[in-house]
Amino acid sequence: MNDASIYAEKAQVLAHDALPAAQYLLRLHAPECAKTVQPGNFIHLSCSHEKYSLKRPFSVLRSAIDEGWIEVLYKVVGSGTEQLASIKAGDVLHCMGPIGNAFTLSSKTKRPLLLGGGVGIPPILFFAEQLKKKSSLTPMVIMGSEIPFPFKVQPSKILISSLPDDTIASMALLEDLGIPSRLTSKQNYSGCFDGYIHELAAIWLESMDAQERSEIEIFACGPTLMLKAAARLSQQLTIPCQLSLEEHMACAVGGCAGCTVETVNQSGLHQMKRVCVDGPIFEANTVFPK
């Protein structure tokens, strides 16, 4: 569980912008959460003004300590997020956070490989920005989506010679920070790799020698099938890998045990872990063993 406290705040909506394909960017004034949130943490947020409205878990995309805000990127997928989409600037929602553990680098990691698919993009962007700001490491970021990307896309000026020449689409925000990124999709989007995230990651990794690969660590967030593929790739190439899991949650603080997943430790012992407080980040080998 995250070492920091979990704060309950009445979070005022500072901005709520509609993006393509029923995606939304929500900025909340939640100063206590903003002070301590780390990449990989999430919040539990009410989706309406109703006093007893059920909350939903959302990964944090970005935070600003000085200004006291956090941002959430989400897609309308059900009744809760449909309600949330109608919220306007000035409205107040109930927010609990930060919850869960965060991505952590090992001392051997020289080049983090960050993989984000669909709704798994937000914590990956947060992590990439934090790595660039707070360390000397420059991550490699690969993101995929089967709907329009919720951010500005542009041809990359950062050369990655091991990748196909026509795979040049990148995220403008990361490009501006000097972070190499590439995008994948099966929707024939211009400049995107025509395939899945793990396939492009494999091309990049397999171009390296054993010494170079020994300095890589994979961090991934996205749909379950994508996480399984990332786990298999890491196992094939003997690369450490952390996965951020997503599960339906009721309480989000470990009380209901409704978000449990089966894990296997190094001794082969099977244990049930709660994604909300034991995760959401797990070593790949513990949730998808070889």
- What pLDDT digit, counting tens, does each position of 176-215 carry? 999 999 999 999 999 999 999 999 999 999 999 999 999 9
> What does pTM read for this prediction?
0.94
Q: Give the three-state DSSP class for 238.
A: coil
Domain ranges within the chain, ordered by starting residue: 7-99, 111-244
Q: Integer distance in angstroms from the first to the last C-alpha of the chain?
A: 26
CATH superfamily of domain region 7-99: Translation factors (2.40.30.10)
Architecture of the domain delimited by 111-244: 3-Layer(aba) Sandwich (3.40)
Which residue spans within 145-230 are E strands per DSSP? Answer: 153-155, 169-171, 181-185, 193-194, 216-221
Q: Which residues of the chain have pLDDT under 50?
A: 1-2
Q: What is residue 138's predicted lDDT score, i.e. its pLDDT?
A: 87
Q: What is residue 284's predicted lDDT score, i.e. its pLDDT?
A: 95
Q: What is residue 4's predicted lDDT score, i.e. its pLDDT?
A: 64
Cα–Cα distance between 74 and 55 in angstroms, integer? Answer: 14
**Do 126 and 60 meet the contact criterion of CB atoms below 8 Å apart?**
yes
Q: What percent of the chain has pLDDT over 90?
A: 78
Cα–Cα distance between 100 and 6 in angstroms, integer? Answer: 9
